[in-house]
Amino acid sequence: MDKKKTKTTSQLKKELDKIFSVYIRRRDADWQGFNFCFTCKRKMHWQKLHAGHFQTRSKHSIRWDYELGNVQPQCPKCNLWEAGQQYKYGIYLDQKYGEGRAQLLEQLGNQIVKYTKQDYEEKISFFKREVTKIINEQ
Q: Are strands 43-45 and 50-53 parallel, antiparallel or unpaired?
A: unpaired
Q: Residue 113 — very low, low, confident or very high, per pLDDT cuts 50/70/90?
A: very high
pLDDT of residue 2: 52
CA proximity to 49, closest of 38, 60, 63, 64: 38
- 39-93: per-residue pLDDT in tens? 999 999 999 999 999 999 999 999 999 999 999 999 999 999 888 889 999 999 9
- Residue 17: phi and psi, rounded to 5, are -55, -45
pLDDT at 138: 72
Mean pLDDT of the chain: 94
Q: Is the pLDDT of residue 1 over 80?
A: no
Measure CA 31 to chain center: 20
CA 11, CA 18: separation in Å to the nearest integer? 11
Q: What is the pTM of this model?
A: 0.91
Rounded CA-CA distance 55/36 in Å is 20
Average pLDDT over residues 95-103: 97
